[in-house]
């Protein structure tokens, strides 16, 4: 299930030096040049000097090639790969608090089980659910759970990795 | 970019046994010396105080400015004139914010510059301490890179990397922010075993200067096939020290050359292939040659809006070869047919090599194109109406006389506005690195400090700052610096009593409703002001006296000179492409416009 605008979204895997202010540099660049960020994930890698950013960009305002080239001008950016379906896998996670009546519980549990989700907490008429999968699966569970009362929702945004050995386009390193 | 060789002296071996202990402040000054820095433009203050102590006794020359903005523009002027990185050093907070304008200026014009700012002590960062500001945050988007150094022992590495980043690839400003505690001689933690680093730790910084050979071949093929080619030369050619090979490329192919505002002097104006400046106030021939070209060879130029006018209507029939060291410039504004990524000097050398080896075989005869271009030059040269008897001086006239009465290799700096355009149009730039101005940012007040920086770097050259009255009032205080530091620049103040360029736009596009543009000819009294700052000052109102005053000014070499030319107020800069308009709609001098209108009507009527 794709959402409107998906076609102009691209996923970039960006390796950056793990230094103070690097995230601000990336965010500043996007703001300064009016590029749209759809989602962004940052975390250290096994190499303490390097962090990995997965950034989903919207290319409505500027072509992907231009965004990648501007990004690569940042001195702390070490490598950029585009994550395309042919050579990479994308995952996302969501956690939700859902308010339920006792009678709704079986339906909720069934929906969560069907999507291989987990119940993290269950008390006082509220159930906390987590679910990881492909972004379209996350969209689907979010859609299904609208039938219940979603109190809070946090999606992580996409994270992605290349499939080792396959070509990833627009690689800059 | 290739910069002239800088001699990097070896660190002096310590007389003491064992490693030499330095504190951060001493290490900073030592590092600057080892980078080959000769001059620092700066202003001391609280957070940077510890660094100013070891300046005493250092061979570095420190020029004490009167405002930190001046320090930044001086560093830029020095870099433009010498090709070496300019260095400025100021304290934290308001001093750092005062160098924001020069940093942005250097960023847009790709000027190699290293700016050192003091910062409050590490423990005070984030507490809204006295004279604290988020300097690296504020300057992030207007520097090529910046550093906040947190340990004294990291200072030499940061300085080395700052100079490396500032001077390689596409040059630009780099800021190094240094907290007070790590340079403080009274802080035991600010001492470390001195070591001059031998390697950079910049895994993400790999500027490529060598073009892909296939792109050169593709470019040469387009060049050899073009019937109406134009070399569209930008400031990148000067940064790459590419003027000599450009001359060779142009002469061997016979391709006419336009030089943008940032590239004036990269190709000699007196050369028969030179068409001068294109763009909003470019000349008719340069603009029209681009518009009618079938091939544009963009060499270190970036399709700036002041050159292209309406992008969709810019050079509509031209294929584009775009040589740029910054790959992000390819396709940013106009998609090139052949992008060439690399140093423009190297790219031109490779092109010339390939053209010599038979790459030019089969080149169509471009004589008809050259003749067409010459025809435009004859029909629509730059022109203005001389002063009527009793009228004040025409600024174009003053600039022409300055040009003819000053040495050929005079360095000309300008501010921003009408006088800048006239200086660019009417000066004859026959040597590279003789024209210094604020092209990208358009910083009023640039000329006086930039001229001081240029003269500090090139003390044997005549340096004229051609300035406007609005500009002069923004940075004139640096003439005190020039006097005290014995940097004898010359200022040609084109006093037309108005913010002339704004007045021109209000005249043309706001039905002559002049709003807040009047400055007056005699308030302030520029001669008294200049004299108060230690300059020799002249005022000239009569066009017949212009030559005599310029000769007097050129004869003074022991102190700064200010010549106030009382100029006609109503003069407009022509040609002009209205903002956002197509270059095909260029307006020429009123004396030529009827002929151009008739020509356009004839073409339109066909």
A75 close contact with B: CB closer than 8 A? yes
Neighboring chain B residues of A70 at a CB cutoff of 8 Å: 328
Q: What does pLDDT average to over chain B?
A: 96
Alpha carbon separation from B419 to B422, B424, B429, B448, B489 (Å, rounded): 5, 8, 16, 14, 18
The whole-number average pLDDT for the span B230-247 is 98
Give dist(CA B112, CA B174) in Å, integer: 8
CATH of B395-566, one of 3.40.50.970, 3.40.50.150, 1.10.357.10, 3.40.50.2300: 3.40.50.970
pTM here is 0.95
Q: Say whether residue A111 is in contact with chain B using an 8 A CB cutoff.
A: no
DSSP letter for A163, please.
P
Answer yes or no: is pLDDT of A4 > 70.
no
The pLDDT > 90 percentage for chain B reads: 95
Mean pLDDT of chain A: 92
pLDDT of residue B461: 98
pLDDT tens per residue across span A36-83: 999 999 999 999 999 999 999 999 888 999 999 999 999 999 999 999
Express each pLDDT in B450-500 by its tens digit.
999 999 999 999 999 999 999 999 999 999 999 999 999 999 999 999 999
Burial track B378-388 (b if 16+ CB lie within 10 A, e otherwise): eebebebeebe
The one-character DSSP state at B266 is S
Q: Catalytic residue positions of B?
A: 68, 130-131, 180, 501
According to the model, what pLDDT value does residue A1 have?
Answer: 39
Mean pLDDT of B363-375: 97
Q: What is residue B146's predicted lDDT score, i.e. its pLDDT?
A: 98
Contacts of A76 in chain B (CB under 8 A): 204
Residue of A nearest to B174 (CA): A75
Residues B217 and B226 sit within 8 Å (Cβ to Cβ): no
Q: Provide the residue ranges of all domains of chain B, joining segments of one domain with +.
A: 21-193, 213-379, 395-566
Other CB atoms within 10 Å distance of the CB of residue A50: 16
| pLDDT at A20 (0 to 100) | 92
**Distance (Å, whole) CA A96 – CA A156:** 11
- pLDDT (0 to 100) of residue A5: 52
Specify the fold of B21-193: Rossmann fold (3.40.50)
Q: Given the DSSP bridges, would you call strands B21-23 and B191-193 parallel, antiparallel or unpaired?
A: antiparallel
Q: ipTM of this model?
A: 0.92
Domains of chain A and CATH, by start: 6-88 (3.30.70.260), 89-159 (3.30.70.1150)
Encode B40-97 in three state secondary structure.
EEECCCHHHHHHHCCCCCCCCEEEECCCHHHHHHHHHHHHHHHCCCEEEEECCCHHHH
At B1, the pLDDT band (50, 70, 90 cuts) reads very low
Residue A69 with chain B: CB contacts under 8 Å = 327-328, 330
Is the CATH number 3.40.50.1220 carried by domain B213-379?
A: yes
Contacts of B88 (CB under 8 A, 6+ apart): B40, B41, B42, B68, B71, B72, B74, B75, B99, B102, B113, B114, B115, B116
Determine the Cα–Cα distance for residues A30 and B180; give it in Å rounded to an integer.
32
- pLDDT at residue number B606: 53
pLDDT (tens digit, 9 = 90+) per residue, B176-185?
999 999 999 9
**Structural tokens at position B469:** 């009255």
User: What does the pLDDT read at residue B605?
Assistant: 59
**Closest alpha carbon to A159 in A133, A120, A122, A139:** A133
Strand partners, A155: A94
Q: Are both B21-193 and B395-566 of the same fold?
A: yes
Q: How far apart are CA B99 and CA A25, in angstroms?
A: 20
Mean pLDDT of the B63-78 span: 98
Question: In this model, does residue A2 exceed pLDDT 70?
Answer: no
- What is the structure's pLDDT at B69? 98
Query: What does the pLDDT read at residue B14?
Result: 43
Strand segments (E) across B408-535: 411-414, 435-436, 463-468, 490-495
pLDDT for position B3: 47
On the question of pLDDT at A170 being above 90, the answer is no
Q: Does B334 touch chain A (CB under 8 A)?
A: no
Range from A6-10, A68-72, B127-131 carrying the lowest mean pLDDT: A6-10
A interface test, pick of B107, B146, B204 with most A CB neighbours within 10 Å: B204
């Amino acid at each position: 299930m794709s959402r409107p605008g998906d076609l102009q979204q691209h996923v970039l895997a960006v390796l950056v030096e793990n230094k103070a202010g690097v995230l601000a540099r990336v965010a500043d660049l996007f703001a300064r040049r009016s590029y749209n960020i759809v989602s962004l994930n940052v975390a250290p890698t096994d190499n303490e000097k390097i962090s990995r950013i997965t950034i989903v960009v919207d290319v409505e305002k500027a072509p992907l090639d231009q965004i990648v080239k501007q990004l690569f001008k940042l001195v702390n950016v070490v490598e950029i790969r585009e994550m395309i379906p042919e050579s990479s896998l994308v995952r996302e996670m969501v956690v939700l608090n859902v308010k339920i009546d006792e009678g709704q519980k079986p339906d909720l549990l069934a929906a969560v089980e069907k999507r291989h989700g987990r119940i993290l907490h269950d008390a006082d008429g509220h159930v906390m659910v987590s679910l990881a999968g492909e972004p379209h699966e996350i969209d689907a569970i979010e859609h299904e759970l609208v039938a219940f009362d979603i109190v809070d929702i946090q999606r992580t945004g996409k994270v992605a990795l290349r499939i080792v050995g396959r070509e990833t386009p627009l690689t800059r390193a | 970019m290739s910069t002239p060789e800088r001699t990097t002296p070896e660190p002096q071996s310590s007389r003491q046994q064992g490693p030499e202990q330095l504190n951060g402040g001493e290490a900073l000054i030592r590092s600057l010396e080892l980078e080959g820095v000769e001059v620092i433009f700066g202003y001391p203050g609280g957070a940077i105080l510890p660094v100013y102590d070891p300046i005493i006794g250092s061979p570095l020359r420190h020029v004490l400015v009167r405002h930190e903005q001046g320090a930044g523009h001086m560093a830029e002027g020095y870099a433009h004139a010498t090709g070496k990185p300019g260095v400025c050093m100021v304290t934290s907070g308001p001093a750092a914010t005062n160098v924001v304008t020069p940093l942005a200026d250097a960023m847009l014009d790709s000027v190699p510059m290293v700016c050192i700012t003091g910062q409050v002590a590490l423990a005070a960062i984030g507490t809204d301490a006295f004279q604290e500001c988020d300097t690296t945050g504020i300057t992030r988007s207007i520097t090529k890179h910046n550093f906040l150094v947190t340990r004294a022992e990291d200072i030499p590495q940061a300085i080395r990397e700052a100079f490396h980043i500032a001077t390689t690839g596409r040059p630009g400003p780099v800021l190094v922010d240094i907290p007070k505690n790590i340079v403080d001689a009274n802080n035991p933690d600010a001492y470390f075993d001195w070591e001059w680093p031998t390697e950079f730790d910049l895994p993400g910084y790999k500027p490529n200067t060598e073009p892909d050979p296939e792109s050169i071949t593709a470019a040469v093929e387009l060049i050899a096939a073009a019937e109406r080619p134009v070399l569209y030369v930008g400031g990148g050619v000067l940064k790459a020290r590419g003027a000599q090979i450009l001359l060779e490329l142009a002469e061997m192919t016979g391709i006419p050359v336009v030089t943008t505002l940032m590239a004036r002097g990269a190709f000699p104006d007196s050369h028969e292939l030179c068409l001068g400046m294109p763009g909003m106030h470019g000349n008719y021939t340069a603009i029209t040659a681009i518009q009618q070209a079938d091939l544009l060879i963009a060499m270190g130029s970036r399709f700036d809006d002041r050159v292209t006018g309406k992008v969709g209507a810019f050079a509509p029939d031209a294929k584009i070869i775009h040589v740029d060291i910054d790959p992000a410039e390819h396709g940013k504004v106009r998609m090139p047919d052949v992008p060439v990524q690399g140093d423009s000097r190297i790219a031109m050398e490779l092109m010339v090599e390939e053209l010599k080896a038979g790459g030019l075989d089969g080149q169509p005869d471009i004589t008809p194109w050259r003749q067409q271009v010459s025809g435009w030059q004859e029909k629509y040269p730059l022109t203005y109406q001389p002063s009527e008897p009793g009228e004040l001086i025409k600024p174009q006239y003053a600039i022409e006389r300055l040009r003819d009465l000053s040495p050929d290799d005079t360095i000309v700096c300008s501010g921003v506005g009408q006088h800048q355009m006239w200086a660019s149009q009417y000066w004859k730039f026959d040597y590279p690195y003789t024209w210094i101005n604020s092209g990208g940012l358009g910083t009023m007040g640039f000329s006086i400090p930039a001229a001081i920086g240029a003269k500090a770097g090139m003390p044997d050259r005549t340096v004229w700052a051609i300035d406007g009255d609005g500009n002069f009032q923004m940075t004139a205080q640096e003439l005190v610096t020039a006097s005290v530091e014995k940097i004898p620049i010359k200022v040609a103040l084109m006093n037309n009593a108005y913010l002339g360029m704004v007045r021109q736009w209000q005249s043309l596009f706001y039905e002559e409703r002049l709003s807040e543009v009047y400055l007056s000819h005699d308030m302030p009294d520029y001669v008294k002001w200049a004299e108060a700052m230690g300059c020799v000052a002249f005022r000239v109102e009569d066009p017949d006296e212009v030559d005599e005053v310029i000769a007097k000014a050129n004869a003074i070499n022991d102190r700064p000179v200010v010549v106030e030319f009382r100029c006609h107020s109503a003069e407009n800069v022509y040609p002009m492409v209205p903002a956002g308009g197509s270059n095909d709609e260029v307006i020429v001098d009123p004396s030529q416009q009827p002929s151009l209108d008739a020509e356009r009507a004839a073409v339109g009527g066909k």
